Amino acid sequence: MNTLAHQVRSSVAVSGTALLLAAAGFGLAPAASADASQPPTLAAATAAPAEVGLAGLPVAFTTKVSNTGAYDTSSARLLYRIDGGAGLPSNAVSLQYRLSGTAWKTVPLTYADEQFSGEVPETFPLAAGHSRTVQLRIGVPMGTPHNGDSNGGTQQLKLTTLVSYGASGAAPATDHDTIKVDGLSTGLSGVPAAVTAGGPAVSFEATVTNPTASRYENVTDTLITNRYASVQVLRSGTWKTLTPVTSDAEADVYGFDVIGKDASLAAHSSTVAKVRVTYRKDTPIGKATVQPCVFVNGGSIPFSGTTSCGNHATLTVRAAGSTGSTGGTPTPTPTSTSTPTPTPSASPSISAEAPSANSGTTSSTPRTSSQLAKTGNSGTSTIAAVAGAFLLAGAGSLGVVALRRRTRA
């Protein structure tokens, strides 16, 4: 952890203050309280977490405040600055503390100039030669439960701890830490190359992985496909038929919640769902696309919440009654191959063309940023951003055209 602690040394300022007070006819008693006479010498050391999860629950850490000088203070103060870059919305970061007991209390944060800042509401006394450890926890919730925001993201937080005393507001003792921000990833494995319309189901696996130190709640992993598909998932040894999730904005796009709605994921864990898909007999012949997208804190609007989509897989749909294997080379589990960048665009682009090499839509599984379009507070449906437009083209091909992300350096 990169830590830099600068001690507060204010002897020159105190001497100047003493002269002014003496000139005004006031004297300073040697045994006066530290805040009124001699300043304490304070230092801060924050043991920040190595990582937190985008849209996950907060992760605990500590700040140790030490008084290394010869004078007491009756009111040590802790202040924090959190810089996540230009890609975060104003509801992205949370900070909590507790000085005693078990209840966590909120550190109110303000957001200005692309930076969050706040002060622990309670002060505490600190005698000379003593220290105190304050418990805290930090998160990147990206909104609130069932109202997740997908506007932007970040790969790290720069946390600055400042310690001061009294009510002057000066806080020259600082500590600097960098916290990695990662997020959920989702992918498919074992998707066959072909399927027969009206024929037997094809089976594969859908995996959601949490590589972070955050625990997650309200997680929904959705398999995006088309209106001709029926999806089952294996639960407790029984194949359960899933009800499709649809949106008025894209009626031809179907989503199936393969791990259930509002699931939980422990830190550094993953969950695997065994899935099988059939296509109706009247499914147009051509290409069918399946794509996994994971939503955190999704609300009442379908396909909303903090969003990350994995690589899509394409199956060839054969005519009903045709013979031949539905096998082929399985689709490998997607892995991240590029560095996502924050995307604070307000409205997504719908593409009805094949993804281009620079679209960023099929080559990587976004983890931390690449949040696709503003949802959450705006109430705008994100089905177009999540799955693109459903395409039923001239030669009978069908599929979900992958979303086109806007990125910026």
Residues 272, 205 contacting (CB under 8 angstroms): yes
377 shares a domain with 238:
yes
**Domain shared by 257 and 177, yes or no:** no
If asked whether residues 198 and 173 sit together in one domain, one would say no
In whole angstroms, give the CA distance from residue 62 to residue 121: 16
Separation between Cα atoms, residue 322 and residue 66, nearest integer Å: 77
Looking at the structure, tell me whether residues 157 and 251 fall in a common domain. no
As for how many domains the chain has, the answer is: 2
Q: Are residues 28 and 175 in the same domain?
A: yes
CA–CA gap between residue 330 and residue 313 (Å, rounded): 10
88, 129 in Cβ contact below 8 A? no
- Give whole-number Cα distances, 327 to 192, 194, 235, in Å: 5, 6, 24
CB 82 within 8 A of CB 139: no
The verdict on residue 360 lying in a domain is yes
Task: Give the integer Cα–Cα distance in Å for 166 and 145.
Answer: 37
Instruction: Indicate whether 6 belongs to any domain.
Output: no
Cβ–Cβ contacts within 10 Å for residue 271, how many? 18
User: Does residue 141 carry a pLDDT above 60?
Assistant: yes
In a domain, 405, yes or no: no
Mean pLDDT of 299-326: 87
Structural domain boundaries, residue 84: 11-182
**Are 159 and 134 found together in one domain?**
yes
Confidence label for 37 from pLDDT (cuts 50, 70 and 90):
low
Q: How confident is the model at residue 405 (pLDDT cuts 50, 70, 90)?
A: very low
Collapsed DSSP state (helix, strand, coil) of residue 20: helix
In a domain, 4, yes or no: no
Q: Is residue 409 part of a domain?
A: no
- Residue 263 falls inside a structural domain: yes
- Which of 182, 197, 221 marks a domain boundary? 182
Query: What backbone phi and psi angles, to 5 degrees, belong to 111?
Result: -120, 120
Do 376 and 362 contact (CB within 8 A), yes or no?
A: no
Segment 326-332 shows an average pLDDT of 43
Whole-number Å distance between alpha carbons of 87 and 304: 19
Give the percent of the chain with pLDDT over 90: 64
Both 53 and 165 in one domain: the answer is: yes
Q: With CA atoms as reference, report the closest residue to 110 among 87, 123, 91, 134.
A: 91
What average pLDDT does the segment 214-227 reach? 97
Q: What integer is the mean pLDDT of 55-62?
A: 98
Mind giving me the DSSP string for 130-199?
-EEEEEEEEEB-SEETTEE--S---SEEEEEEEEEETTS----EEEEEEEEEE--EEEEE---SEEETTS
Integer CA distances (angstroms), 24 to 18, 28, 32, 33, in order: 10, 12, 18, 20
> Taking a C-beta distance cutoff of 8 angstroms, is the pair 142, 184 a contact?
no
Tell me the C-alpha distance between 307 and 372, whole Å: 7
CA distance 133 to 145: 30
pLDDT of residue 140: 98
pLDDT attached to residue 92: 97
Name the most confidently modeled range: 313-317, 322-326, 364-368: 313-317
Residue 235 lies in a domain: yes
Q: How confident is the model at residue 131 (pLDDT cuts 50, 70, 90)?
A: very high
Contact 129, 143 (CB under 8 A): no
Q: Is the pLDDT of residue 299 over 60?
A: yes
Q: Give residue-wise pLDDT tens across range 341-380.
A: 333 333 232 222 233 322 222 333 333 333 333 333 333 3
- At which of 150, 182, 214 does a domain end? 182
The predicted pLDDT at position 249 comes to 87
Lowest mean per-residue pLDDT among 177-186, 321-330, 354-363, 380-389: 354-363
Q: Across residues 148-158, what is the average pLDDT?
A: 93
| 16 backbone dihedrals φ, ψ, rounded to 5° | -60, -40
Give CA–CA dist 315/204, Å, rounded: 12
Do 317 and 192 share a structural domain? Answer: yes
Query: What local confidence, expressed as pLDDT, does residue 152 receive?
Result: 87
Confidence of residue 60 (pLDDT cuts 50, 70, 90): very high
Inter-CA distances, 58 with 63, 127, 212, 215, 259, Å:
16, 31, 11, 8, 23
In Å, how far are 33, 105, 131, 293 from 74, measured between CA atoms? 8, 21, 13, 52
Asked, for residue 1, whether it belongs to a domain, the answer is no
Q: Supply the mean pLDDT for the chain.
A: 77
- Predicted pLDDT of residue 171: 61
- Give the domain-ending residue among 128, 149, 182: 182
Q: Are residues 245 and 379 in the same domain?
A: yes
256 by DSSP, 3-state: which?
strand
The domain spanning residue 205 has which CATH number? 2.60.40.10
Q: Are 389 and 350 in contact (CB under 8 A)?
A: yes
Which carries the bigger pLDDT value, residue 322 or residue 395? 322
Q: Are residues 176 and 237 in the same domain?
A: no
Pair 196, 277 in one domain? yes
Higher pLDDT, 249 or 64: 64
Q: What is the CATH number of the domain that holds 92?
A: 2.60.40.1510
CB–CB of 308/340 below 8 Å?
A: no
Please give the residue that has the higher pLDDT: either 136 or 377.
136
Mean of the pLDDT values across residues 48-74? 96
User: Do residues 44 and 176 both lie within one domain?
Assistant: yes
